[in-house]
């Protein structure tokens, strides 16, 4: 009788190296059980991981929320929420106008505060 090797990392040489390392870590966390690794491989092949490149050079292994451009989506940290914000041209214009108005109000308030601060510094009383 021949022995069948069911090790998920050795039986899937086409997986990227970072993912093999991730699988090996998960197998070790689960005391050598392979079941979790096979589930993760299935999720990887179905494109359910974000795989955005993070600042440290590693790839994100969070679950992809919505489909993106290409076979994979993105997680909420990497632009995959996709449910907020205007979708129509009119909505985008309305949001842009509101943002410009907020900046105008901010600049006016900042200028007023600077004028008051400079006049009180010189010893001039303000009304």
Percent of the chain with pLDDT over 70: 80
Residue ranges of domains in the chain: 17-78, 85-127
pLDDT for res 59:
82
pLDDT of residue 104: 93
Q: What is the pLDDT averaged over residues 67-89?
A: 72
Q: How far apart are CA 105 and CA 109, in angstroms?
A: 6
Distances (CA, A) of 30 to 16, 24, 49, 113, 118: 21, 10, 21, 60, 65
Q: Give residue-wise pLDDT tens across range 83-106.
A: 667 788 998 899 999 999 999 999
The pLDDT value recorded for residue 7 is: 74
Question: In the structure, what pLDDT confidence band is assigned to residue 28 with cuts at 50, 70 and 90?
Answer: confident
Q: What is the pLDDT of residue 41?
A: 83
Q: Is pLDDT at 70 greater than 60 in this prediction?
A: no
Name the more confident of 22 and 97.
97
Q: What is the pTM of this model?
A: 0.49
């Amino acid at each position: 009788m021949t022995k069948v090797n069911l090790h998920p990392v050795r039986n899937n040489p086409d997986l990227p190296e970072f993912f093999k390392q991730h699988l090996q870590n998960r197998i070790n966390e689960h005391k050598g059980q392979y079941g979790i690794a096979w589930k993760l491989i299935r999720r990887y092949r179905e494109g359910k991981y974000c795989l955005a490149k993070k600042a440290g050079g590693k790839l994100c292994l969070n679950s992809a929320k919505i489909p993106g451009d290409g076979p994979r989506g993105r997680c909420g940290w990497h632009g995959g929420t996709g449910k907020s914000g205007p979708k129509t041209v009119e909505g985008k214009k309305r949001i842009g106008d509101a943002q410009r108005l907020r900046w105008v109000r901010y600049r006016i308030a900042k200028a007023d505060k600077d004028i008051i601060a400079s006049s009180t510094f010189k010893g001039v009383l303000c009304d």
